[in-house]
Amino acid sequence: MKYRVYYKENLAHEIELDEQQIKIDGESTEIDLVRLLDNKFHILENHKSHNLEILHADYALKRFSIKVNNNIYDLNLQTELDALLDKMGMSADDNEKMDNVKAPMPGLVLDILVEKGQTINKGDNLLVLEAMKMENIIKASGTGIVKDIKVNKKDAVEKNQLLIEME
């Protein structure tokens, strides 16, 4: 899985993880990670020692605040799917009002997690869409109120089909 980790005014590194190795910006690196406590780790990277502490983690928004060797970093994590949604113009800023929710890909609606009239915030789970034998949770890209739900469970949907109408 590839991730883009943003820090310090939009500086970023690409991190690629698989079962065998970790690559940072395309280069293999040797990292030995030991969990000391729930939120504290010791890392050996290319024979250098680092102490890491997770200060804050917002998994829904993929934002983290970590302390590495007494330096604090605010990180934003972006997956390949997030990058694809950005490229398609389907991402939003934190305080942005959310537009209607359209299917990012063809698939099957497995579950609807919101109700008509419900107020939602950025990062809230809206529905589960199965595509290519994978379950994808469609999350809110901003704030808004659900005006109408245009699909039902087990509906097959096409790319860009209106799923949820927002006010």
46-100 confidence digits (pLDDT tens): 788 999 999 888 887 788 889 999 888 888 888 888 777 777 766 544 457 788 9
Q: Say if domain 2-80 classifies as CATH 1.10.760.
A: no
pLDDT score, position 94 = 46
Kindly tell me if the per-residue pLDDT of 147 is higher than 70: yes
pLDDT score, position 64 = 87
Segment (H or E) for 135: strand 134-139
Tell the burial category of 70 from Cβ atoms under 10 Å away from its Cβ (0-12, 13-18, 19+): exposed
Q: Say if domain 92-166 classifies as CATH 3.40.50.720.
A: no
Q: What CA–CA distance (Å, rounded) separates 12 from 26?
A: 13
Most confident range, picked from 11-25, 73-87, 105-119, 124-138: 105-119
- Rounded to whole angstroms, the maximal C-alpha distance in the chain is 56
pLDDT score, position 132 = 80
* Domain residue limits, the chain: 2-80, 92-166
5-45 confidence digits (pLDDT tens): 888 767 888 888 877 678 889 888 878 888 999 889 999 88
Stated pTM of the model: 0.48
Stretch 119-141: mean pLDDT, rounded?
Answer: 87
